[in-house]
Chains A and B, each alone.
Chain A
Amino acid sequence: AQKITQTQPGMFVQEKEAVTLDCTYDTSDQSYGLFWYKQPSSGEMIFLIYQGSYDEQNATEGRYSLNFQKARKSANLVISASQLGDSAMYFCAMREVYYAGNNRKLIWGLGTSLAVNP
């Protein structure tokens, strides 16, 4: 069964430093997509970055990059130069392209709470 594991319930980082949030996934499919979302205390889920299973390059979006290691089934989010506004919950999610006829479903991890210290 598909599964997303985020092993770090909480993380702390000093402002301006880089931080890596871990995500491992389990799937038997060869074609899938991986997402990271940010959820500040206000509640809105904000899409950050996407990596396709066939993408050869690691995805990057501004200060966010995704360290994709397909053989290890890991898709870690790297935030460079942390800012106070990065304090939030971060969720990793996966979508398999062909899953039991229901290809619209995202599988979610339980999230990592990141606190950025000044």
Chain B
Amino acid sequence: DVKVTQSSRYLVKRTGEKVFLECVQDMDHENMFWYRQDPGLGLRLIYFSYDVKMKEKGDIPEGYSVSREKKERFSLILESASTNQTSMYLCASSLIVGPGSPLHFGNGTRLTVT
């Protein structure tokens, strides 16, 4: 089975801090994704990566950056955390991007910025 591991389940940070959310997958997937999930807004794509060192902006990239130095690891960076970035963050990976390739998700990181 595909395993996508997010480093933290719960995280509390202060406004202005630099925050790193880490995600690792063990199935050699080319594609990795970061979403945030908020009540009433559903899942929104922040960034995705289809190869090492490659990245593309999703729907809401402002305030975030990403890093993919190795195929198995995709990091989401909040350069200066703000309270409106309090959310559930979900990492996902997929083997190929054809119409039928599902995303495999980690358990999520619930981030609170105070």
Contact = CB atoms under 8 A, between A and B. Distances in A.
Interface stretch (B19-27, B42-50, B70-78, B79-87): B42-50
Contact of A110 (B40, B88, B103, B108): B40
B100 A50 contact: yes
Interface stretch (A13-21, A63-71, A73-81, A97-105): A97-105
A11 interface: no
B100 A43 contact: no
B40 A102 contact: no
B99 A95 contact: yes
A84 to B, nearest CB: 21
A50 B31 contact: no
B50 A104 contact: yes
B66 interface: no
Contact of A44 (B40, B48, B107): B107
Interface in A75-91: 91
Interface string B17-60: 00000000000000100000000111101001010000010100
Interface residues of B, number: 26
B99 A104 contact: no
Contacts of B50: 104
B42 A32 contact: no
A32 B99 contact: yes
Nearest to B56: A102
- Most B C-beta atoms less than 10 A away, residue of A43, A97, A110: A43
Given A43-B88, A44-B108, A45-B92, A106 B103 contact: yes
B45 A47 contact: no
Interface of B: 9, 31, 40-43, 45, 48, 50, 56, 58, 88, 90, 92, 97-100, 102-108, 110
